[in-house]
Structures are given as C-alpha cells and as structure tokens.
C-alpha cells in the first residue's frame, strides 16, 4: 500500500507535502520520499522510517 501527496502552487511545496505525508503516516508506512524542483531541476530525497527522518534530511 502507498500514499501519494502532490501540490502545485506558489506556496512552500515542501511544507505542504510533508504535512500531507504526516497525515498518512499512521497507516504504517516504513519509508517516505519527496521530489521538489530546485533551481529548475528535480531533486529527490528518500528516507526509511518515520517522516521526521525525511524532514531532518530536508532541513
């Protein structure tokens, strides 16, 4: 099972997507990832475990 969160807009996409992933976290997922556009290029970040592990990578 997987959950997908997406956002297109002018607000801070990283924070909006992380909030959406946190809302799905209770379902027992064991990893998370995020892809964002930085300086016109797609950057991906992936971490095993809780969403906070991914959050630490992004900060």
Is residue 32 over pLDDT 90? no
Distance from chain centroid for Cα 55? 8
Residue pointed to by tokens 């990893």: 31
What span, in angstroms and rounded, lies between the C-alpha atoms of 51 and 36? 16
| Sign of CA pseudo-dihedral 59, 7, 38, 51 | positive
What span, in angstroms and rounded, lies between the C-alpha atoms of 20 and 5? 6
Is residue 37 over pLDDT 90? no
| Sign of CA pseudo-dihedral 1, 11, 47, 21 | negative
Is residue 51 over pLDDT 90? no
Return the domain boundaries, the chain.
Answer: 13-58
* Confidence bin at 38 (pLDDT 50/70/90): confident
């Amino acid at each position: 099972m997987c959950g997908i969160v997406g956002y297109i807009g002018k607000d801070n996409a990283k924070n909006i997507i992380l909030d959406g992933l946190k809302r799905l976290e209770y379902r027992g997922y064991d990893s998370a990832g995020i892809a964002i556009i930085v300086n016109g290029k797609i950057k991906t970040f992936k971490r095993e475990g809780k969403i906070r592990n991914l959050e630490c990578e992004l900060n």
